[in-house]
Amino acid sequence: WQKREISNFDYLMYLNTLAGRSYNDYMQYPVFPWVLADYHSETLNFTNPHTFRDLSKPMGAQTVERKRKFIQRYNEVEKSEGDLSAQCHYCTHYSSAIIVASYLVRMEPFTQTFCSLQGGSFDVADRMFHSVKSTWESASRDNMSDVRELIPEFFYLPEFLTNANHFELGCMQDGTVLGDVQLPPWADGDPHKFILLHRQALESDYVSAHLHRWIDLIFGHKQHGSAAVEAVNTYHPYFYGDKMDLNNIKDPLIKSTILGFISNFGQIPKQV
């Protein structure tokens, strides 16, 4: 990978596989980074660093104000490991079954998966995945309970961005009827162009030079411990599945709570 003999995409898939992530498990689906921060320009400039997301920081620390709030949350909670109020920066996760299904909701079998996770129907329209720009703004700036990353399909599968099956996904409060995913101006309304440019961004010189910093956060030494605290990258203890010894937990209620937590909110990859 350092010799550029395999692509960034292939290397990330390799790391996901090593860390136990698989297309066969919605709860441990392959996780990919947001690589762009520009969803408003008419054209993308890959020579401008401001075009790209800061790969050295998790989604919860993409703005100074957001980072400050999460650090404040961490400091306010007394450490009480194994408790729902345990000391951490994030009580939600960057990858979960519902996040995966919400991204892919316009394609079967993910449509049915999403509905079953939602109790049998689509979510409120305003909460559905409907715009790449608004999803980025939510995950990087606006929503303190949203730190989601991306899935591999954002870099090769234009079909998930169109409502080819004509599902009735509802109507937003501003009157917008949900259909195809709203794309950034630089994609010219073309899902194929979006995927092409998004993949070019992933393989760009800037991302190639900084991708290892994101890998450290998700798969490496900044995943947990003091390095994670310093990087504003700690999650609720229940998310660290390989750190929780369920066999030693005798109370069935606590065990089922932990398993339910993981299945609903996601799981940290195994450290590579």
pTM higher than 0.75 for the full model? yes
What is the block-wise mean pLDDT of the chain (272 residues), using blocks of 10 residues? Answer: 95 97 94 98 97 98 97 80 71 93 96 91 90 97 96 98 95 92 98 98 97 98 94 90 67 76 80 89
pLDDT score at 253: 79
Give the whole-angstrom CA distance, residue 77 versus residue 62: 22
pLDDT score at 5: 95
pLDDT score at 267: 86
pLDDT score at 247: 67
pLDDT score at 91: 87
pLDDT score at 244: 63
pLDDT score at 227: 96
What domains sit in the chain, N to C, each tagged with a CATH number?
A: 8-263 (1.10.1540.10)
